[in-house]
Amino acid sequence: MGSEDSIPRKQACQQFQITYKLKILLLIVATNLFTIYIFTNPHSNFDHPLSRISLWDTSPLLLKLNATQDQLTESHSQILNLQTQLNSAQQLLGSLLDHLTSLNGNPPAATYADLLDDLHDEARLAAAPHALPLGNTPRIGSEIYASVGGGCLNHKQDLAKYMSYEVGGECPSDDVFAQTLMLKGCEPLPRRRCHPRQPANYAEPRPLPGSMWATPPDTSIVWDPYTCKNYTCLIERKKFPGSYDCKDCFDLQGREKTRWQYDNGGLDFGMDQVLAAKSAGSVRIGLDIGGGSGTFAARMRERNVTIITTSMNFDGPFNSFIASRGLIPMHVSISQRFPFFENTLDIIHSMHVLSNWIPDPMLEFALYDIYRVLRPGGLFWLDRFFCFGWQLNETYVPMFDRVGFKRLRWNTGMKLDRGIQKNEWYFSALLEKPIFT
Ligand SMILES: *[C@@H]1O[C@H](CO)[C@@H](O)[C@H](O)[C@H]1NC(C)=O
Ligand SMILES: *[C@@H]1O[C@H](CO)[C@@H](O)[C@H](O)[C@H]1NC(C)=O
Ligand SMILES: *[C@@H]1O[C@H](CO)[C@@H](O)[C@H](O)[C@H]1NC(C)=O
Ligand SMILES: *[C@@H]1O[C@H](CO)[C@@H](O)[C@H](O)[C@H]1NC(C)=O
């Protein structure tokens, strides 16, 4: 362990030397810039050609002009010379910066300590490394770091607001605010030392399996951040105009009831047909990415498969609702690395969430992460990925192939908009992480 210990110190030493060289170099560049400034600045003591000559007297004027021209030619060549020097200095500086960047993967100024300097009070206490009480430990070192998303530092005011509360008191009801921060890359958020508000007249949850298909009591959550203030409102919402995330998902007696129960041979796969792709009982644990109100997990539970449902609380208390059903909600966004170890999950499902609204690089990272956490032979059920016709073959088919999934089933279908076909497509896919022998 001692040898591992010395690596950071060696790097620090190299970095110090480089920083020192960098300072000297900056000094050289700065000096050059200063010289150029002297030569080009009209207020410096450089002779201005027409400043002290009477314009009616031509011969001295010509003489003076000639002399000035000579001077100008000379200084021009000096400037050219300086520019050459400056260019080579800049090149040197550039390569030095590249070197520095490759050393620690970051621009030189952004050390964790620099960033911490910008945080105050609770935020700083939550994010700062803390010395381990028993000193140096082999696997961790001498101090332990909290996880705080780098994006938090781009939103310091919001972070300060999030971290201002009475220690030991009640937290603000700010989960909607918190998740806008998360989506700005402030994920994970720092921990807090306050108690979330408790709903008045809290009722204990119903027992399983009944809880899976029952609307929870209104007293199970705090309604503060939402437009709707009860489950009746959330269930009725599907009848009203306006676009809400997962508009009809809270109505467990509506469309939710039939989802994945039948296979239409096209875009809508049946759950039993998907599970039949593997030997009986070999699909046991998995993840539903952006799983709305948790119905996929409920249906899987009826088949003895345990599914964790990730969900944000857009326009409604999705996480609380999933939990009330007796299912496991996880409040993480699509941008975060999945908190699972590699080669662990039997199945991952996602409906409507992964689509062409996600920038290509981010989507590809997410697909690789899905591949990572799936066990060899694990299933990725991509349910209704939306895109335009030209994107299908140009972008997405190659991307999915590149990540390395094996296609077990692939259905495409054109989207109908009031019965009219547009060049807008869905595809559903059952993909398998290959087993290499
Ligand atoms: C100015 O210089 C030119 C050549 O560069 C020369 O022909 C001319 O006679 C000079 N004029 C004066 C007034 O010295
Ligand atoms: C539910 O909330 C809506 C508005 O959010 C309100 O108009 C309605 O009266 C409430 N219904 C019940 C049963 O509490
Ligand atoms: C789920 O597990 C229970 C208890 O082990 C068993 O009785 C039941 O038949 C299983 N259901 C399915 C659909 O496999
Ligand atoms: C994509 O390519 C396949 C096979 O080459 C072709 O059959 C299909 O029509 C193409 N789809 C679109 C939407 O262009």
pLDDT tens digits, 371-411: 999 999 999 999 999 999 889 999 999 999 999 999 999 99
For ligand 4, the distance from its centroid to the CA atom of residue 395, given in whole angstroms, is 12
| Per-residue model confidence (pLDDT) at position 80 | 67
CA–CA distance, 311 with 11 (Å, rounded to integer): 41
> What is the fold of 210-432?
Rossmann fold (3.40.50)
Which of 72-76, 90-94, 328-332, 333-337 has the least mean pLDDT?
90-94
Residue 367: pLDDT above 70?
yes
Mean of pLDDT values over 153-169: 92
Protein residue closest via CA to atom 1 of ligand 4: 393
pLDDT score of 102: 52
What value does the mean pLDDT take over residues 207-227?
92
Ligand 4 neighbours by CB, cut-off 6 Å: 389, 392-393, 425
Backbone angles phi, psi at 109, to 5 degrees: -75, -25
* Closest residue by CA, ligand 3 atom 12: 303
Cβ of 176 below 6 Å from ligand 2 = no
State the distance from the centre of ligand 3 to the C-alpha of 304, rounded, in angstroms: 6
Give just the sign of the alpha carbon dihedral 136, 139, 141, 142. negative
Q: How far is the CA of 393 from the centre of ligand 4 (A)?
A: 6
3-state secondary structure of 382: strand
Atom in ligand 1 nearest the alpha carbon of residue 65: 1
Buried b (16+ CB within 10 A) or exposed e, 229-247: eebebbbebeeeeeebebb
Q: Is 304 in the pocket of ligand 3 (CB under 6 A)?
A: yes
SS3 246: coil
217 lines ligand 2 (CB under 6 A): no
Number of the ligand closest to the Cα of 63: 1
Site of tokens 């857009």: 314
Atom of ligand 4 nearest to the CA of 389: 13
Per residue in 67-98, pLDDT (tens digit) is: 777 777 776 767 666 666 666 566 666 655 65
Report the pLDDT value the prediction gives residue 145, as an integer from 0 to 100: 85
pLDDT beyond 60 at 31: no
The pair phi, psi for residue 304, each rounded to 5°, is 65, 30
Cβ burial 380-406 (10 Å sphere, 16+ → b, else e): bbbbbbebeeebbeebbbeebeebebe
Give the β-pairing of 306-310 and 285-289: parallel
Q: How far is CA 331 from the centre of its chain?
A: 14
Instruction: Please compute the mean of the pLDDT values over residues 29-41 and round it to a whole number.
Output: 41
Whether this prediction's pTM lies above 0.85 is answered by no
Give burial (CB, 10 Å; 0-12/13-18/19+) of 260.
buried
**Chain segment 267-314, per-residue pLDDT in tens:** 999 999 999 999 999 999 999 999 999 999 999 999 999 999 999 998
User: Any bridge partners for residue 411, and if so which?
Assistant: 428
The residue nearest atom 13 of ligand 2, judged by CA position, is: 232
Residue type, position 175, single letter: D
C-alpha span between 164 and 125 (Å, rounded)? 12
pLDDT band at 137 (very low <50, low <70, confident <90, very high): confident
> Is 253 close to ligand 3, i.e. is its CB under 6 Å away?
no
Query: Three-state DSSP class for 29?
Result: helix
pLDDT at residue number 49: 40
Share of the chain above pLDDT 70, in %: 76
pLDDT of residue 90: 65
